[in-house]
Amino acid sequence: MVYYRKYRPQTIGELDSPKLRETLTAVLSQKEIPHAFLFTGPKGLGKTSTARIIAKVLNCTAKKRNGIEPCNECSQCVSITNGTNIDVLEIDGASNRGIDEIRELRERVNLAPSAAKKKVYIIDEVHMLTTEAFNALLKTIEEPPSHVVFIFATTEPQKVPNTIISRCFHISLDRATQEELVHSLKRIVKEEKIIIDEEVLNLIANMGDGGYRDTTKILEELVALSNGKKITKEIFEQTHKTANILLRVSTLLQHIIDKDAKASLLEVNELINQGTDIRLFIFQVLSNLHRRLLEEMKVREKEVRPANLEIPLNQLQQLIPLFEKAYQDTKYAVIPSLPLELAIVTYCQKDEIQDSGFKIQEETPEKPVIASEARQSNTSNDSGRNTLKDTRTKEQNLKVKQVLSGTKPEEKKPVESTATQRDLPKNVQDASLLLENLIYKVKPYNHSVAGVLRGCTIGAMDGVAITFTTKYVFHKEKLEEQKVREILEKVVREVTGKQLSVMIELKK
């Protein structure tokens, strides 16, 4: 049996979170026990295990400490632990999410327990229930029979209706701390008689991402690979390819400070070739940036580093969110290194793009002003000032002033396009402004495609096609995907009013 299942906490005292132990002890000590519990939090924190412990507390026939702690020896405790208790029902919300299943549950709720004191319904991933199913369940939760207790668990509480949440005793499980994870590992190490360095336990906890399940899995892998030998730091580093990570973190940050995207991507490629855990690497980068942030804010003493490795506070404020997003995205990325590579390109190219007149959009951008709208606008002074700020070019400044003074700006005759004509739209500033508007329009369709477009420029545009140029192969491949190309053509039509084909060119 795998360690995580074998060493699931079976009593309140075995729970690794002091906060959770205190909460459960306080709640279950009361004369009136809540008729519905809701456990929320990331995966691998023990939501289902805690639900089973509550079921045992409610049904144990020989409670121990303070009349709360289950004995784990009576028939009720043993059957709940083994999953064979007919009065404690575990339901998967993802597989039983429809109204028919919930109606069947409502009918069974009124039946008295067969042998236990309380009939307990544990519904895992409850957020997967349909709206109709939630509505059908609501009345039962509001006025359940006295012999019934509901325990819900979910990783996505925002998807659970407030009408359900308000009728439950809500316990939110936070990601486990380093201390709590090490405490969990030590329980297993003691029972399995594993010989392991204390330093390795801390390294494992670092990789566990705040979850007991993932942390335990890493320990189990190390035990299997150690062949009964003592698990040392060297074995850990050999298994997870972490020996040179700290050095490579400094090297990568140096390339990033120098805005050398190519060297940074080559460094990432080298990590991939060496089999380095990319997510662990990003974690180490974030840890490094976090330390520097605290040093800049005088929270901790500054470490001695070469002068060229200093990172100013304003750069830290830009880098940390980028790498934090990359760390989160890596967990579900098809190509594990892609979120890191995209973060690098986004940061390294930002100044280059801004210098060309392009403004990187924030997460909630205001709608940009299209050049043609600026020329044709007959706006107030405030609107004129906003246009002046958005365009930031001498040519557009002049046109806005003409609008404000009531002078009609001189209209330039459009150049007739032919199939062989491949000129930029009027000038570089207009091309940058056009790209800005395209990114704004693309973002609601696909946020990641908008991010890729930030690393491109408009190379050419005529009456037939618009060409995007990029220096990076993975940008080109992404934009050439059929679905992405359809989005781009639709957005180009919305912005330019023309039905143009989209071309992607790789610029060496």
Closest to 87 (Cα-Cα) out of 70, 71, 99, 75 = 75
pLDDT, residue 241, reads 61
pLDDT tens digit sequence for 312-327: 888 999 999 999 999 9
Q: CA 412, 414, 420, 423: dihedral to nearest 10 degrees?
A: 40
CA distance 347 to 339: 12
Cα gap 344→348, rounded to integer Å? 6
For residue 423, give the amino acid letter: D
- Strands of the sheet containing 169-172, edge to edge, are 88-92, 119-124, 148-154, 36-40, 169-172
Measured in degrees and rounded to the nearest 5, phi and psi for residue 40 equal -125, 155
What b/e string do you get for 212-241 counting C-beta neighbours within 10 Å, with b at 16 or more? bbbbbbbbbebbeebeeeebeeebbeebbe
Secondary structure element (H or E) that encloses residue 253, with its range: helix 245-257
pTM: 0.55
Q: How many CA atoms lie within 13 A of 323 on its CB side?
A: 24
**Each residue of 93-109: b (16+ CB within 10 Å) or e?**
beebbebebbeebeeeb
Closest CA to 97 of 117, 70, 124, 57: 124
Nearest CA-CA partner of 293 in 266, 255, 324: 324
All structural domains of the chain, each given as residue ranges with its CATH number in brackets, are: 3-172 (3.40.50.300), 178-240 (1.10.8.60), 245-348 (1.20.272.10), 371-506 (3.30.300.180)
Round to whole Å and give the CA distance between 150 and 160. Answer: 15
Burial 384-399 (b: 16+ CB within 10 A, else e): bebbbebbebeebeeb
Cβ atoms of 431 and 495 within 8 Å: the answer is no
Go through 166-175 and write b for each residue having 16 or more CB atoms within 10 A of its CB, e for each that does not. Answer: ebbebbebee
So what's the pLDDT on residue 358?
40
Cα–Cα distance measured from residue 35 to residue 12, given in angstroms and rounded to the nearest whole number: 19
Measured in degrees and rounded to the nearest 5, phi and psi for residue 106 equal: -60, -35
Write out the DSSP string of 181-249. Answer: HHHHHHHHHHHHT--B-HHHHHHHHHHTTT-HHHHHHHHHHHHHHHTTS-B-HHHHHHHHT-TTHHHHH
Give the pLDDT of residue 76. 93
Contact predicate 330/282, CB 8 Å: yes
Nearest to 492 by CA among 471, 470, 461, 469: 461
Partnered with residue 383 across adjacent β-strands are: none
Query: Residue 306, class by beta-carbon neighbours within 10 Å (0-12 exposed, 13-18 middle, 19+ buried)?
Result: exposed
pLDDT at 1: 62
Could you tell me the two tokens for 438?
A: 């395209």
Instruction: Output the pLDDT for position 501.
Output: 87
The residue type found at 123 is: I
* Residue 174, pLDDT score: 86
CB atoms within 10 A of CB 69: 19
The predicted pLDDT at position 178 comes to: 86
- Per-residue pLDDT tens digits for 415-465: 333 333 334 444 555 777 888 888 888 888 887 788 888 888 888 888 788
413 alpha-carbon distance from chain centroid: 50
Q: Mean pLDDT per segment of 10 residues, for the chain of length 508 residues? A: 86 91 92 92 90 94 78 92 92 82 85 91 91 87 89 92 92 88 92 90 81 88 85 80 69 89 90 83 89 86 64 90 91 87 89 44 42 41 40 42 44 37 48 83 82 85 86 83 87 87 84
